[in-house]
Amino acid sequence: MSDDAPRLQQPPTTPSLWKELVPASFLISLRSAVSEHVEPVAEQTDREDVYPVRAIKELARLGYTSLTLDPAVGGAGANSRRALALFEEVSYASAAVGISLITIFQAQTLIKTFGSTELRDAVLPRFREGLLTSYALTEAKHGSDIRHLDTTATRFDGGWELNGRKSFITSGSAAEAFVILAESPAGISTFYVQADCPGVSTEKTTNAATFGLRNGPHVDLKLDRVRVPSQYLIGEDGRGIRQALTTLDHSRTMAAGISLGIARAAFEGALRFARTRIAFDQSVVAFQGIEWYFAQMVTAIDSARLLAYSSADCLDDHIDIDRHSSEAKLFGSEVATDVAARCVQICGAYGVMESAPFGRYLRDAKAYEIAGGSSEILKNTIAKSLHRQRLTGETE
């Protein structure tokens, strides 16, 4: 074992792998921003369940919240690999900050992909200034199945009136604007709604606190005769489900990055502990039973990372993305939960202490097997894509 120890000292993110995935210069600046602005607030954000406003505003100031937007609207025009690296690195320090970014990216994806020129021009440049947004699909009676909703959208001359209540809204406690789904006469449609619009309010219900991914209470969003102008309908009336699927393809790829960050943080923390903890006159990591755990975990993390980066490439190349993003999130979230649980075990009593971060890793990892598309729904999506495909040799 002693000969092998120096090799184990490398982080699971092997430098050779990273060099091929994103430029080192990008990663170095990103890690420095994370250690300055995200790491210091990670523990408090989780413990107090507060939205990490300052961290997100600092990331916005440095251009990270508008990373993939077009330079014409103040973005950096970066590809999905860099966005994925952003999610992994931020979530290595705090998955709560990671999901705060996800809800911003979801609103951007919807507006830049489907929004009218007027809406794009009015809203997209605001992300560079730190606009905070949420994406509200879920209702008390409609979670995985959003084909029918109780929130309604009815036309009036010059716009739309929205009525209803959305539940479990990540970042909703701080959002300055929401993108919501509502049922209109043509079907499910998507709307942009500013938080300061008359009739918009949020409520912290008894269900608002989650045990993981705590970036402030997951509030209910109440829409009481909210009137928005016509251009706040995003894309075509009745196309909300298709738009949601496209948006989730993006955010599920980034969610895989969040899970990777959690897994890597747990792995490295446990490795540091196991190297220094002595039992039976040797370091804990030197027991074969323990080093095999690390070997298995690093293999799973590297595999999850390759799947996630392949999904990022598919996003940019528009290849079978529903399948690849679902695979990346399904595998990544399960790896993160397994790794976090294993790391608690490796660290013994230290692993279960509230002062140690492993409980947070485990809670965040598990919550991401449900949020943003549960593992069961992802398996349905992957299976559907297999049914679409013909096997070699099959004919029409």
Q: Quick one: which of 108, 210, 326, 337 contacts ligand FAD (CB under 6 A)?
A: 210
User: What is the DSSP pairing of strand 219-229 with strand 200-203?
Assistant: antiparallel
Q: By C-beta, is 95 or 285 nearer to ligand FAD?
A: 95
CB 229 within 8 A of CB 176: no
Q: Kindly state whether residue 371 participates in binding ligand FAD, applying the rule CB under 6 A.
A: yes
From residue 1 to residue 30, the character string flagging contacts with ligand FAD as x (rule: CB under 6 A) and all else as - is ------------------------------
377 binding ligand FAD? (CB under 6 A) = yes
In whole angstroms, the minimum distance from the beta carbon of 68 to ligand FAD comes to 19
CB of 101 to ligand FAD, least distance (A): 12
205 counts as binding ligand FAD under rule CB under 6 A: no
Q: How far is the C-alpha of 181 from the C-alpha of 161, rounded, in Å?
A: 13
Which CB atom, from 239 or from 363, has the smaller least distance to ligand FAD? 363
Give min distance, CB of 128 to ligand FAD, in A.
22
376 binds ligand FAD (CB under 6 A): yes
Residue 374 as a binder of ligand FAD (CB under 6 A): the answer is: yes
Q: How far apart are CB 138 and ligand FAD at their closest, in Å?
A: 3
Is 80 near ligand FAD (CB under 6 A)? no
By C-beta, is 245 or 377 nearer to ligand FAD? Answer: 377
Binding residues among 130-189 for ligand FAD as defined by CB under 6 A: 134-138, 143-144, 168-170
**CB of 6 vs ligand FAD, minimal distance in Å:** 39
- Cβ burial of 320 (10 Å; 0-12, 13-18, 19+) is middle
Please count the residues of this chain forming the interface with ligand FAD, following the rule CB under 6 A: 21
Residues 212-251 that bind ligand FAD (CB under 6 A): 213, 218
Residue in 29, 152, 205, 380 binding ligand FAD, rule: CB under 6 A: 380
Comparing CB distances to ligand FAD, the nearer of 163 and 374 is 374
Query: Which 92-111 residues touch ligand FAD, going by CB under 6 A?
Result: 103
Residue 224 neighbours by CB distance under 10 Å: 12
d(CA 223, CA 202): 9
Minimal distance, residue 11 CB to ligand FAD, in Å: 27
Cβ closer to ligand FAD: 210 or 247?
210
70 binds ligand FAD (CB under 6 A): no
For binding to ligand FAD (CB under 6 A), which residues are involved?
A: 103, 134-138, 143-144, 168-170, 210, 213, 218, 367, 370-371, 374, 376-377, 380
